[in-house]
Chain A
């Protein structure tokens, strides 16, 4: 499998507290990579860096062979759009919009074919058991909103889906359903899934499990 993300010597500190200290990571096409670690150890920070949302870090990061340090804002935006999908810990859905609208949002603002975007969003939402009706996402349950966030991360057909605790709000059955679907989609579309995970049941599905500890990643056997 080819490497879609290659990070070398990633460093990040906040107020002189070193959170990541020379972290190396390779994410291969199509793999499911789980990140574990104690709260506050820097898992979300790592995902923000890999998602190119946080650019204030040391070391080098390349996605699909492109060095992110050299990119302009608009090139970074293109990189995010074409290669990355992101599921935020707090979902970050726009509360006034419906599930369907939230999911097609990236396509709408990217000038993509709206018909195809709707079709694909409908398909993903349906597979995640979310009704594409006129209900604003504020009226959805936390679990439903999380699934909408997952659908939004997948709708552009990313090479890597970065997910920050995607099943944190789900019961065990919903969690299994979500990951069954993600496995299915991963097989169909060959995207890599890099997720911060706490659930032991999900960890068993991962191709690799890495623990973030003392600013670096350690493989968990």
Chain B
């Protein structure tokens, strides 16, 4: 059959039925559009959560913190104590512990000044001395993570900025003051000065010291909620301004000799009334949340897929049902079955496939547009991810393919049943 004849056959076949046909194809178009849109955005949201909740704590490490909530000068009353030297020594003495790397808060007011987008700014800060183990090798590869006041003339104080702080800045300060949002990549290399011994609300008796500093890296570690600087620097500053105070740690990073000893170390730590966190524990917490979101999104995608499928099947089958008489006439006039099947293949299968691909393409475009719009409105999101829409081409193609094969499969089965019906019954009013 030539294309001109096929075109003529389709033209005659659809005369007076274009509206129904366009409607049925429209349903398929909308169904595939919604399916792709929600899957893309859903996976993007999952990605975002994953980003927020992920941890870079190695498997053989246990992070030990006081049981209460503590951030710099702020502590909860119950359990909000720091870890003593004695506790650290006890843990360090355990045969299953490889090494213990402590973290320490600067108990001294501090002030940071710099330029942000060409504008001078300053802020009171809380410094936390951290060791290389806290940060992980990947961050420290290009950073010399050692610094004391003796280096201040020749080197910058290296700073690790918590991405949690960045989020707070983006979500609150930048948002309300119409300032540009900051990304982790964007702040790297930013230079500033850090004044120790004085802040906007407090000043120590000893004269303040100002050093030049530079943001060398950022960290997504959920336990870092301050400005991370080398441990020995904070230890030196605390000793200088508060010489009588006993050294207390804000956190310890315990590296087990063997990863399988981690549960035993956790038990040991918890017996001392301290909190222990492991990658598995953090991951489990994240998994529960991400799992819940994934389940909700999967249920939504399944509901969309099912409703899209049922509406696609319904519209295709109804379209055929309305054409039983016309099919009967064509069969009575001796139309070859393969010609009818060809019309079906073109009209239902090919056009449905085309419609679904176009719907999916528009779905991708809308998801991308929605993602771009949301990211442009929210610096917090922009700082966390580059896109809120994820396009797993294989899965999307599989979803669309499933919809196409199932809906046209049902329609074809119905079509086959019509062709198997006696002509006299098809022609019956």
Contacts and interface: CB of A to CB of B under 8 A. Distances in A.
7 contacts: A73-B419, A77-B336, A84-B334, A108-B8, A109-B333, A110-B339, A111-B5
B338 A74 contact: yes
Contacts of A156: 334
A215 to B, nearest CB: 18
B333 A96 contact: no
A92 B427 CA distance: 8
Interface of B: 1-2, 4-5, 8-9, 12, 15-17, 325-326, 328-340, 343, 419-420, 422-424, 427, 429
Contacts of B339: 109-111
A114 B8 contact: yes
A55 interface: yes
Interface stretch (A46-54, A125-133, A184-192, A202-210): A46-54
Given A92-B427, A96-B15, A105 B1 contact: no
Given A77-B337, A106-B335, A110-B336, A53 B5 contact: no
A79 interface: yes
Contacts of A96: 15-17
Interface in A53-102: 53-56, 73-74, 77-82, 84, 86, 88, 90, 92-97, 101
Contacts, number: 93
Contacts of B420: 73
Nearest to A84: B334
Given A78-B336, A82-B334, A105-B12, A94 B329 contact: yes
A109 B15 contact: no
A114 B3 CA distance: 12
Chain B contact residues, majority secondary structure: helix
Contacts of A53: 332, 422-424, 427
A74 B337 contact: yes
A157 to B, nearest CB: 12
A152 interface: yes
B315 to A, nearest CB: 19
Instruction: Find the residue from B15, B17, B325 having the highest chain A CB count within 10 A.
Output: B15
Contacts of B15: 94, 96-97, 101
B338 A97 contact: no
A188 B219 CA distance: 95
Given A92-B329, A152-B333, A54 B12 contact: no
A79 B333 CA distance: 10
A53 B12 CA distance: 23
Nearest to A74: B337
Nearest to B17: A96
Nearest to B18: A96
Nearest to A101: B12
Nearest to A81: B334
B382 to A, nearest CB: 55
B16 A95 contact: yes
A98 to B, nearest CB: 9
Contacts of B17: 96
Interface in A6-49: 48
